[in-house]
Amino acid sequence: MSRQRARKAKPCVTRFLEDDLWQAVKTSIEAMPRDTAREQNHYARVRWPISQ
């Protein structure tokens, strides 16, 4: 019976945006058109991940 090697944990990587880049993302999302139902749905889908 052979021994199985213990798996090494992957290093934790923290990813983030600087404040000015984060503001640019939020500004771009707010500038999206919302005139039609399709545009409103697209805006909602894009905005949802950052509102969590």
The predicted structure's pLDDT at residue 1: 58
Residue 22 has pLDDT above 70, yes or no: yes
Q: HSE (CB half, 13 Å, CA atoms) of 48?
A: 7
Q: Which whole number is the average pLDDT over 4-30?
A: 89
What's this model's pTM, rounded to 2 decimal places? 0.66
30-48 pLDDT, tens digit per residue, is: 999 999 999 999 999 999 9
Three-state DSSP at 8 gives coil
E strands present in 1-52: none
Q: Which whole number is the average pLDDT over 11-36?
A: 93
The predicted structure's pLDDT at residue 2: 66
CA dihedral in degrees (16, 23, 47, 35; nearest 10)? -160
